[in-house]
Copies of this chain bind each other. A is one copy, B any other.
Amino acid sequence: MSSAGKLGEWKIIEIFMTLLQRMPKMPIPFGDDVSAIDLGEGKLAVIKCDMLVAKTDMPRGMSYWQAARKAVVSTVSDFAAKGIQPLGLLASLGLPYSFKKNDIVQTGLGLNFGAREYGTYILGGDTNEAEDLIIDCVGFGLSDEATIMKRSGAQPGDLVATTGSFGKTAAGLKTISEGLMVPSKTKRELMEAIYMPKAYLKEGLALAKTCVVTSCIDSSDGLAWSLYELARMSRVGFEIMDIPVAAPARRFAKSQRLDATGLALYGGEEYNLIFTFKPGDAAKVSEALDGAFFEIGRATNRRGRIELKAGGRVESIEPKGWEHFARS
């Protein structure tokens, strides 16, 4: 019989989605970055949990302080993608029996640092014994139903853009897992991306304020996969003309004779926002983000098809990305 490992994260989620009864009038469908509850008068309560498991989510060399901060970042990033300020966080912890007092202190400090960095607080949590360090970071926020940026909503013709470039985490993880020799400046930049990821909360809040964003997702599962998700929930396709590869990822790819585009497309644990808007609203988007974004393509009516158009050729982008249980 199939096991979790053979099914993979996304198939498992599909199974759960067939088993769970739906709350009537869910303001945000199952499978978006966050969950929401209608509070009436156009207000939504928004909640989200994101679990970090040391074995799979804590790359070699990452400190407990960094892991705890990262757990916060990944939850905050989901709020960023919806354009919502997280008002409070909880941390449910599983700690190994042998976890040292100083590790506990570093974990607590990392949680606090991450929360304060994004203008919020850890309000409480739960402490348990587990085989491995587990940090489930829970966030709560409020939103107006009218301004929340959903995954659904992109329409053919909309432009698609990202708040940042891609590829550093894929390059960095490869560097660590394969023990590659990489020039020190490049390595420093790659490690920074892995150990100190950033949630684009300020950008997400600014985007939501424009009221012109038609859909948005965070790229924590990778650029390619996130585009597929946006396409699936919005019932569109995407034609990608330009993939912004981060400079150190490009240098890394060159030195390792790897395809830089592949690193940018199929990585993960990068917390860029990927969002869509009407071409006529580009100036508003640019103003909100001080011009700091990359237009990468446009939505098409070829449902579920994500194509890369470059140098006169059209290639299909594969539906793969950062998936738990996946063994490559």
Tell me the A residues contacting B by CB distance below 8 Å: 1-5, 7, 9, 12-13, 15-16, 19-23, 26, 30-32, 34-37, 39, 45, 47-51, 53, 55-57, 87-88, 90-102, 104-105, 108-109, 111-112, 115-116, 121-132, 134, 136, 138, 140, 142, 324-325
Query: In the complex, what residues of B have CB within 8 A of residue A98's CB?
Result: 3-5
In contact, A49 and B15 (Cβ under 8 angstroms): no
Max chain B C-beta neighbours (<10 A), residue from A23, A55, A112: A23
Query: In the complex, what residues of B have CB within 8 A of residue A37's CB?
Result: 87-88, 123, 140
Query: In the complex, what residues of B have CB within 8 A of residue A20's CB?
Result: 108, 111-112, 115, 121-122
Number of copies: 2
Closest to A78 in B: B126
Q: What is the CA–CA distance of A48 and B97 in the complex, to the nearest angstrom? A: 24
Q: What is the CA–CA distance of A108 and B294 in the complex, to the nearest angstrom? A: 40
In contact, A325 and B129 (Cβ under 8 angstroms): yes
Q: What is the CA–CA distance of A39 and B40 in the complex, to the nearest angstrom? A: 14
Q: What is the CA–CA distance of A39 and B47 in the complex, to the nearest angstrom? A: 15
Q: How far is the CB of A122 from chain B (nearest CB, A)?
A: 5
Query: In the complex, what residues of B have CB within 8 A of residue A31's CB?
Result: 124
Query: In the complex, what residues of B have CB within 8 A of residue A136's CB?
Result: 49, 51, 92, 126, 136, 138
Beyond the given A3-B100, A47-B88, A53-B129, please list 6 additional residue pairs across the A-B interface where CB-CB is below 8 A: A12-B127, A19-B105, A23-B123, A45-B87, A57-B128, A130-B134
Which of B5, B34, B94, B101 is in CB contact (< 8 Å) with A3? Answer: B101
In contact, B55 and A102 (Cβ under 8 angstroms): no
* With A19-B109, A88-B47 as contacts: A3 and B97 at CB distance below 8 Å: yes
Q: How far is the CB of A138 from chain B (nearest CB, A)?
A: 5
Q: How far is the CB of A116 from chain B (nearest CB, A)?
A: 6
Q: How far is the CB of A47 from chain B (nearest CB, A)?
A: 5
Q: How far is the CB of A311 from chain B (nearest CB, A)?
A: 38
In contact, B53 and A4 (Cβ under 8 angstroms): no
Query: In the complex, what residues of B have CB within 8 A of residue A1's CB?
Result: 100-102
Q: How far is the CB of A320 from chain B (nearest CB, A)?
A: 17
* With A7-B101, A49-B138 as contacts: A127 and B16 at CB distance below 8 Å: yes
In contact, A123 and B19 (Cβ under 8 angstroms): no
Q: How far is the CB of A162 from chain B (nearest CB, A)?
A: 23
Closest to A26 in B: B123
Which of B2, B12, B125 is in CB contact (< 8 Å) with A16? Answer: B125
Query: In the complex, what residues of B have CB within 8 A of residue A87's CB?
Result: 37, 45
Query: In the complex, what residues of B have CB within 8 A of residue A12's CB?
Result: 95, 104, 127
Q: What is the CA–CA distance of A5 and B277 in the complex, to the nearest angstrom? A: 52
Q: What is the CA–CA distance of A35 and B93 in the complex, to the nearest angstrom? A: 16
